[in-house]
Amino acid sequence: MAFDALNLFLLACLVVTALAIARLRGLFAVAMLSGIYSLLCASVFVLLDAVDVAFTEAAVGAGMTTVLFLATFGLTRAKEQQAPHQKRLPALLTAVACGGILLYAFSDMPVFGDADTPVQTHPIAERYIETTHDEVGIPNMVTTLLASYRGFDTLGEVVVVFTAGIAVLMLLGRSSRERKEPTR
């Protein structure tokens, strides 16, 4: 009962935070609320026993993203140029169509936590559970799967994140050099 109440509370906080982000116009407040949203998502992942995903969400979503937002604010102008008035009906129709497609796809999903789903009944899951500790010797099964069995996949993800970080640093460095006034 307490678990369900906590889930509902976190869901309500996520919805309120998302609506606040959508309504705000101040970019600093949006950046801070985005960090709060990421921390709330990390809390949900902890409740779902996905602690590794929660750590990643907290570090990347709340930490790095907020830092990058703030760095971007330092490199851009304080005043936003007014965009020409555009028709919003095509955007609304596109959003409604995407929402309808997602609802249709959602109806084909299995029930949450169902033990008869393909991911739960595949024989490889049982093999991992039975032999992981003997083969690798690491007590945490998630760490074992990510570090040993899916090592190249994890290495690829690390390379992608590292490359993206280097690209962002290069863009930030280039922007600060371009902003400097030439000496006379």
pLDDT category at 184 given cuts 50, 70, 90 is very low
Query: What whole-number percentage of the chain has pLDDT above 90?
Result: 25
75 within 8 A of 175, measured Cβ to Cβ: yes
Domain region containing 24: 1-78
Per the domain annotation, does 172 fall within a domain? no
**CA 151 to CA 158: how far, in whole Å?**
10
Give how far Cα 166 sits from Cα of 35, 68, 158, 169, Å.
22, 12, 12, 5
Window from 43-57, 62-76, 96-110, 136-150 with minimum mean pLDDT:
136-150
Per the domain annotation, does 164 fall within a domain? no
Roughly how many angstroms between the first and final C-alpha of the chain, as a whole number?
71
Per the domain annotation, does 143 fall within a domain? no
Per the domain annotation, does 180 fall within a domain? no
**CA 99 to CA 110: how far, in whole Å?**
19
Per the domain annotation, does 23 fall within a domain? yes
Per the domain annotation, does 68 fall within a domain? yes
Per the domain annotation, does 37 fall within a domain? yes
Domain count, the chain: 1
Tokens of 137: 């010797």
Per the domain annotation, does 43 fall within a domain? yes
Whether pTM exceeds 0.85: no
**CA 146 to CA 134: how far, in whole Å?**
16
